[in-house]
Amino acid sequence: MIHASDRWESAILIALLSAIVLLTIVTAQRGRKYFVRRIPGLNAIDEAVGRATEMGRPILMVPGLSGLGVVGLQALTIFSYIIKTAAQFGNRLIMPTADSALYTVAEEVVRDSYTAAGKPEDYDPNSVYFLSDRQFAFASGVAGTIFREKVAASFLFGDFFAESLIFAEAGQQVGAIQVAGTVSTTQLPFFIASCDYTIIGDEYYAASAYISREPTLLGSLVGQDYCKIIILLVVLIGTIAMSIPALGAKWFFIQWFTL
């Protein structure tokens, strides 16, 4: 599907989902209160930061391999909340990045978070750095850092590929408390096997709303839930139609989604 006109009905569904999200965002910004359920892994963040404080060892944050896009930015948003907590306790921070464009933003996010926490003087410009955009060169650098610094807590959020297990096992072996979340579903099993807490699926996108309780984000989250209900309904209707011989694949509703 290159253009909406290739299959208008499908494109309208995408537009409809977008509209729903925008609508709930606007109502939330106008003061409507929304609820978000507990996400277990995220409650562990304070625990992890606390542990790092006790041990006096640094906290590692890796925003994944992807560039300047929604996934990497979401990781940085989550990190900015963690940094604000960590800044209160004076934890040392290490954030290696794998993309130069994302690195520039990361550097700003970290600096701003220290300022927002009221500790601009604690910000260490060497704590955020660009390491490599080559997957396994990056992995070798991060793994080496984990072992050398014996990190106390490790937060892996973003787009990860095969290197996920290198980070997670290295952290496991130095006894770090690890919280991970990724949009790469194929890497989730390895995080689950080696990390203390794993954020699964779109809990990743819900995380910033959960931690910040920002109305915009909560509104968006509610909208996303409505969208998922719509998709579920579409799947149900399609399935039922396919099961009725008189309707089948030729039925107009099914054709709407046939590219």
Partner 1 sequence: MSSFAENLQNIDRRYLYLTLLLIVVIGLLVPIPLPLAVGPQARGVYDAIEKADPRKLAIVSTLWSASTQGENRPQTRVIIEHLMRRKLKFALIAFGDPQSTILAYEVADELAPKYGYKYGRDWINFGFRADIAGTLKGMVRNIEETLKQDTKERKPLHQFPIMKGIRNFDDVGFIAEVSASANYVSWLGLVAGSTDAPFCYAPTSVMAPELYTYIDSGQIAGMLFGIKGAAEYERMLGIKGFTTRAITPVSLTLILLFVLIGLGNYGMFASRRQGGKA
Partner 2 sequence: MNLQKFLISAFPAAKGSMIWIAPLLVIACSVVLFFVLQSLPGRARKALIASLTFLAGLFYALEFFWPVRKGTDENFLTFAVPTVGNVINVLAAFTLGLGVFSLVRIHTGKVVKQREGWPNSAVLLISIVVMAVAGIRFENTLFFRSLFRDVLNSFDAAMFATLAFFIISAAYRAFRIKSAEATLLMVAALVVMLGQIPIGQYLTHWIPENGSFASIFRLDSISNWLLLTVNAPATRAIGFGLGIGGLAIALRLWLSLERGAFFEAKADES
Partner 3 sequence: MIEYSHPVGIWIGAIGTLALFSLILKENWLYRLFEHMFIGLAAGYTIKAAWHEILKPQWWIPMTRDGQWPWAFALFGGFLFYTIFTKRYNWMSRISIGILLGFAAGQAFQATANLYIPQIRGSFKPLWVTQSMLPAGSQVTPLGQSLNNILFLVIIITVMTYFFFSFEQKNRVIQSTARTGRLMLMFAFGAIFGSTVMARMALLIDRVWFLMHRWLGIG
- Interactions with partner 1, residue window 161-200 (CB under 8 A): 173, 186
Using DSSP, state whether 22 is helix, strand or coil: helix
- Give the whole-angstrom CA distance, residue 21 versus residue 225: 9
Using CA atoms, how far residue 6 sits from 78, 90, 235, 254, 258, in Å, is: 37, 55, 21, 15, 10
Answer yes or no: are the C-beta atoms of 51 and 181 closer than 8 Å: no
* Cα 56 from chain centroid (whole Å): 27
151 near partner 2, rule: CB under 8 A: no
Amino acid code (one letter) for 82: I
The one among 136, 147, 253, 257 contacting partner 1 by CB under 8 A: 136
* Contact partner at residue 233 from partner 3, partner 2, partner 1, none, CB < 5 to 8 Å by partner kind: none
Among 123, 155, 157, 190, binds partner 2 (CB under 8 A): 190
Site for partner 3 in 71-110 (CB under 8 A): 73, 101, 104-105, 107-108
Cβ–Cβ under 8 Å, residues 148 and 174 = no
Which is closer to partner 2, CB of 132 or CB of 247?
A: 132
91 binds partner 2 (CB under 8 A): no
Under rule CB under 8 A, how many of the chain's residues touch partner 2?
76
CB of 169 to partner 1, least distance (A): 9
| Partner in contact with 222, chosen from partner 3, partner 1, partner 2, none, beta carbon below 5 to 8 Å by kind | partner 3
Residue keyed to tokens 């787009």: 159
